[in-house]
Amino acid sequence: MSTRTRTLAIVSQKGGVGKTTLAIHLAAAAHERGETSLIIDADPQASACDWSSWRSGAAPEVIDTAPSRIKAKIDLACGQGATFITIDTPPHAENAAAAAVEVADLALIPCRPSAFDLAAMRTSLRLIQLMNRNGWVVLTAGPPNAPRICEDAKLLIRDLGGKVCPITLPERAVHRHASASGQTVSEFEPASKAAVEISQLYEWTCAQLNMSTIASLETTA
């Protein structure tokens, strides 16, 4: 369990890339491993808040906030014992993304391996680079059986000076089914490939945040 609070910002200027999926699953994984985790939902769509209501308030806790109040909410949560915080940010809102990245220990940019998504990803990547923050691109929702598509996307991201998380989250129907029932994939289908991928992503995230003594996976792939 952490001895101090770690904060993770999930940012992308494009919708539908998996920001909420990352926010809820990483916070839930932290809770399962003994952290006092919290999700800050700064997206007006409030998808994370909806998910929380579907699970009748079971941990992890989700609170909504305006982007201008992100830092204040984090300070309050730290004072109340939170040790792992994920921030779900809205698309098309660079100010909100900047507010989250500024207070985060780590920023993740979920991105589908498609031309439109990779083009939109550049805005978030430039923001993180300009703010000199620790940020990584996480490839999401790609075809499970077409690894070449992700490999091409990784090359493009590196050409732009970005870092690519070695764990990818391919398109899997279980994510939709789990979310609709107010669960995570590890709760809905513990033996699924999706559950394994989320677990690997959480362990990798912990390594970037210096939260775990488990040997880090390769930081490039």
Give strand pairing partners of 63. Answer: 40
In tens, the pLDDT along 90-127 reads 999 999 999 999 999 999 999 999 999 999 999 999 99
Say whether the peptide bond before residue 60 is cis (omega within 30 degrees of 0). yes
Residue 212: pLDDT over 70: no
What digits encode the pLDDT tens for the residues 174-207?
999 999 999 999 999 999 999 999 999 999 999 9
* E strand spans, the chain: 6-10, 37-41, 61-64, 84-88, 106-111, 135-139
What are the φ and ψ backbone dihedral angles of 35, each rounded to 5 degrees?
Answer: -80, 155
Q: pLDDT at position 211, please? A: 87
> Residue 118 belongs to what H/E stretch?
helix 115-130
DSSP string for residues in 26-71: HHHHHHHTT--EEEEE--TT-HHHHHHHHTTTPSSEEEE--GGGHH
Q: What is the mean pLDDT of residues 33-41?
A: 97
213: pLDDT strictly greater than 80: no
Question: What's the rounded mean pLDDT across residues 159-163?
Answer: 97
Instruction: Phi first, then psi: give them for residue 136, nearest 5 degrees.
Output: -140, 150
